[in-house]
Amino acid sequence: MFFIGDHKYRNQGAQPLTDSVYSKGRWMLNFKAGSLFPRTNMTNFTKLDDFLTRNRQQHLEQLFELLRIPSISADSTKSSDMDRAAHWVADRFRDAGLKTELIPGDGPALVYAETDPVPGKPVVLVYGHYDVQPADPIDLWKSPPFAPEIRDGNIYARGSTDDKGQMLTHVLSVLAWKACGEKLPLQVKFLIEGQEEQGSEVLEAKLPEIAKRLACDVIVISDSSQYAKGQPAITYGLRGIAYFELRVHGPKMDLHSGSFGGAVTNPALALARILTEIKTADGRIQLPGFYDSVVELEPSEREMWQSLGFSDDRFAESLGVDALTGESGYTTLERRWARPTFDVHGLLGGYQGEGGKTVIPSWNGAKISFRLVPNQDPKTVGEQLRRFIAEHTPPGVRVEVIDLHGGRGVVVNPDSKYMKGAVEAVEEGFGVKPVLIREGGSIPIVAQMVDALECDVLLIGWGLDDDGAHSPNEKFCLEDFYRGIRASSRLWHHLAR
Amino acid sequence: MFFIGDHKYRNQGAQPLTDSVYSKGRWMLNFKAGSLFPRTNMTNFTKLDDFLTRNRQQHLEQLFELLRIPSISADSTKSSDMDRAAHWVADRFRDAGLKTELIPGDGPALVYAETDPVPGKPVVLVYGHYDVQPADPIDLWKSPPFAPEIRDGNIYARGSTDDKGQMLTHVLSVLAWKACGEKLPLQVKFLIEGQEEQGSEVLEAKLPEIAKRLACDVIVISDSSQYAKGQPAITYGLRGIAYFELRVHGPKMDLHSGSFGGAVTNPALALARILTEIKTADGRIQLPGFYDSVVELEPSEREMWQSLGFSDDRFAESLGVDALTGESGYTTLERRWARPTFDVHGLLGGYQGEGGKTVIPSWNGAKISFRLVPNQDPKTVGEQLRRFIAEHTPPGVRVEVIDLHGGRGVVVNPDSKYMKGAVEAVEEGFGVKPVLIREGGSIPIVAQMVDALECDVLLIGWGLDDDGAHSPNEKFCLEDFYRGIRASSRLWHHLAR
């Protein structure tokens, strides 16, 4: 059901999706009219709703417990915290009587759990992650990243929105069904991993071995954003990513820039030149072949996003920038959701302390990534990058390209039968009908899981764009946490129908 | 006597030094023939030489004591170590009965000391510094930077060559004269400061107030290198410097590069573009007006350096680079000693930890400097840089330019009468006649002191180019330490004649 997983659309260059349903504007009609989705009879949910209302404080305390564990997958000194987080999640499942297992691998363990099978009904696999991004720059946090607190109706902590808070809504909703003594109308499986922020290597390696256990009809993922505050969304596309570290090596030791300056290639300047050559000032990436396999936006899609009334001015103001920039010929939403791009995440090397030190560094580096769209392949982009750098390395330095992680982009079929159930559940949880959007971020493992399990997927995110998912002061709206649990509790019902 | 301090040559653009002695090749003759400098009668020095030989171990121990103090002027947490170093130097002078004073200022104290006046004889001012460069990257040191040790005939420690070891040769030689009960043939004053590596702000501020106390005929500085191992040199030119920190500010917080990538200007890429635009691939600096006041090399000077037999291949090999690069039309020595240049010393901002973090940093920065030659002025270069950046800042970011430090370049008159005495002293200390070179490094305060004191200057360095002055594993040749003390002990005699 993923276009990227469909042989028809893979590796065919920039061929438009002309015979796809989504090129015919049908979903737009659905989204606008809303007539295809009759409202549910809610009388069966009184008991469940009461339970959720009574347990708000307890649910929050459980989230706080998990948020207090600094499970930073990028930081190798945090491996015992990774273990603690994995066990914490597993213990919740065990406490509720789910068949639970920690699947070990070469890295953080996978947490797997399942409710009882329900013959004749779909099987849902909830995917989420218990690892979080690093917390630096730590001095910009108003409250410590791993000491969650509520301010202005938001939960502030690293991982609150990405993804502990969102992931937990599904765990708590299943636990609520069990606690109320209700039989779940379908089987729910959980796969909660600990390496999403670092490329899901353990899951990728284990996938063939555990595919049978994970077998399902639809994967449910809450690791994305609503369109705006008060306007929930269902995300039908994600970008992919190809992440690298560049290291430009110059002289074998740091040199005094007075005695040597002017006679050797400065590694930082060589790096700057290479980075500048990768992307033009008007946002076009210069790696030969980079755009060959990019699937272009459909006119109907551009039209639909136009109708969302996105304001460039308000967006720029919210980010504190005086101008938005990007690839010529595309709107801001198109640039963020459906066009590939190139970014630098950090600069490395040389003197970084107070005051001045007059050295020519022996090396400088950069953390960089390309965001990809269907049908770009991260491995191909890596090869294109290596060729480009080989041709653009100035004399006097040597450039090392280190692969960090990668994953393909995905576009979900909006006509999926599960999409209808999801729209109803979200509307009942949030009180507002969701819109259909894409998201610029990546969940690299998604395309691989869909390929391996041959299933459908639902990306229903409870976050907000300004949650600061990878920034200081990450937050998650407290009410959206509760609405997410409620929507999730309805989801099992609607997907089972 | 500094061309840069001479109104004839200041602020006249690129006017060649046609009426200078050094444009007529005379010194080259002197250097080659050596006939102008008759050898000294050495019989008076037996007692002094014996003393120096007997006290080698004690002198080394004294240097080690000073090297153990981590007096890093760039590091504000090291202010008590700065104090300790200043007092250690002052105590040596006091122990030997010199009139000694710590001159406080807005930063590390100046250490001043003087021997008794000798009427009718020149007054010498020894300038040196007790502060050192930061020691990072600390993990590249084979022995701890502030635990000096001898390996392969070298003293390894931060500050060994720059400048504690070199500076101490003059202190110890004056102390040796006193210890031997000899009356110094001229008055020696010492000014040992603690901010040379950070732009000498205290000294600069105090200079007008203390100029009378510092009054002298010639300043002696040992803070540079010999031409090569076994070939001492007298340095007649230094480059100036203009050092800045650039900070490129983008969005007000770090952004998730998935959700936002492609729609905002990446501060690291904006920085890379600006750095790349400052200097062309063939080494020309693009700030308008940058070369207007540069004094071009004289043909005789180029010829003299040509005769030094410098090997590009051996140089490149010693640095571990496969090619030398730089400004078109100039040799490596010319690029290093007499041409301005632009370098980056460190890159700042964004994610610098292990693995990958997918943020668009809210800011990135760079430590940068321009090395200057006569008659460039660091303030003018700062204005040129600010104008250039204002015109080259991409939309969506704001660039901050922070002044760190600056100083003009100098070229010394090689016909100075003190030069002859210095050549003799160096030859007697090292057993080899020195050659005349320039040095690419900067001692920013030198031009200002010469202007303020209206005196001559001698740059006689005992270091070596591969000492790693600002690098890990900084060293100073043990025998050159002893030879330097011996040369210094003769210097007072030859300058007094």
Round to whole Å and give the CA distance between A181 and A171.
16
Q: Is the pLDDT of residue B435 over 60?
A: yes
Beginning with the edge strand found earlier in the chain, give each strand of the sheet holding B240-249 in spatial order.
B341-348, B363-372, B240-249, B398-407
Model confidence pLDDT, tens digit, residues A411-425: 877 777 898 999 999
Q: What's residue A44's pLDDT?
A: 64
Say yes or no to pLDDT of B36 above 70.
Answer: no
C-alpha to C-alpha distance for B398 and B383, rounded to whole angstroms:
17
B353–A134 C-beta distance less than 8 A:
yes
Pairing state between β A363-372 and B154-156: unpaired
pLDDT, residue B450, reads 86
Chain mean position to CA B473: 18
- Cβ-based contacts of B371 with chain A (< 8 Å): 257-258, 261-262
Q: CB-based contacts of A368: which residues, under 8 Å, 6+ apart?
A: A243, A244, A245, A246, A275, A278, A342, A343, A344, A345
Q: Are A217 and A456 in contact (CB under 8 A)?
A: yes
**Cβ pair A73, B356 in contact under 8 A:** no
- Judging contacts by C-beta atoms under 8 Å, the chain B residues touching residue A259 are 225, 336, 439-441, 465, 469
Q: Which of B82, B278, B339, B345 would you mutate first to test chain A, the one with the most A CBs within 10 A?
A: B345
Taking 70 as the threshold, does the pLDDT of residue B308 lie above it? Answer: yes
CA-based nearest residue in chain A for residue B361:
A345
Interface of A with B in 317-336 (CB under 8 A): 319-327, 332, 335-336
Give the one of A74, A254, A336 whose C-beta lies nearest to B353's C-beta.
Answer: A74
What residues of chain B lie within 8 A of the CB of A358, using their CB? 133, 241, 243, 345, 369, 441-442, 470
Read off the amino acid at residue A477.
Answer: C
- State the number of CA atoms in the 13 A half-sphere of B131 facing the CB: 28
Q: What pLDDT shows up at residue B178? A: 95
CATH number for the segment(s) B251-291+346-406:
3.30.70.360
Strand-pair category, B123-129 with B187-193: parallel
Which amino acid, one-letter code, is at B322? D
**DSSP strand pairing (A240-249 vs A398-407):** antiparallel
User: Smallest Cβ distance to B332: which of A75, A263, A345?
Assistant: A263
Quickly tell me which residue has 């090396």 as its tokens.
A363
One CATH from 3.40.720.10, 3.30.1490.150, 3.40.630.10, 3.30.200.20 for B3-238+409-496: 3.40.630.10
Look at B262 and A440 and tell me if their CB atoms are within 8 Å: yes
Domain residue extents for chain B: 3-238+409-496, 251-291+346-406
Tell me the chain B residues in contact with residue A396 when contact means C-beta distances shorter than 8 Å.
Answer: 321-325
Q: Is B420 on the interface with A (CB under 8 A)?
A: no
User: pLDDT tens digits for A339-380?
Assistant: 999 999 999 999 999 999 999 999 999 999 999 999 999 999
Quote the pLDDT of residue A258. Answer: 93
| pLDDT level of residue B446 (50, 70, 90 thresholds) | confident
A358/B350 CB distance under 8 A: no
Low-confidence stretches of chain A (pLDDT < 50) are: 1-43
Query: What class does CATH assign to A240-297+338-406?
Result: alpha beta
- pLDDT value, residue B312: 97
The domains spanning A3-238+409-496 and A240-297+338-406 adopt the same CATH topology:
no
Q: Is the peptide bond before B163 cis (omega within 30 degrees of 0)?
A: yes
- What is the biggest distance separating any 2 CA atoms in chain B, rounded to whole angstroms? 82
- Does A441 contact B at CB distance below 8 Å? yes
Is the predicted pLDDT of residue B94 greater than 60, yes or no?
yes
Listed in sequence order, the residues at least 6 apart from A172 whose beta carbon sits closer than 8 Å to its beta carbon are: A59, A62, A485, A488
Q: Is residue B39's pLDDT more than 90? A: no
Alpha-carbon span B336 to B239, nearest angstrom: 9
Q: From chain B, pick out residues whose CB is under 8 angstroms from the CB of A275.
A: 268-269, 272
Whole-number Å distance between alpha carbons of A344 and A364: 13
Q: What is the pLDDT of residue B45?
A: 87
Taking the C-alpha atoms of residue A347 and residue B453, their distance in angstroms, rounded to an integer, is 44
- Helices B46-54 and B56-67 sit at what angle, rounded to 10 degrees? 60
Residues 22-61 of A with CB under 8 A from B: none
**Is residue B44 very low, low, confident or very high in pLDDT (cuts 50, 70, 90)?**
low
Does B34 have pLDDT greater than 70?
no
Q: Is A256 on the interface with B (CB under 8 A)?
A: yes
CA A56 – CA A227 distance, rounded (Å): 25
Is residue A433 a contact partner of residue A233, using CB atoms and an 8 Å limit? Answer: no
Q: Which residue of B has its CA nearest to A469?
A: B256
pLDDT of B346 > 90? The answer is yes
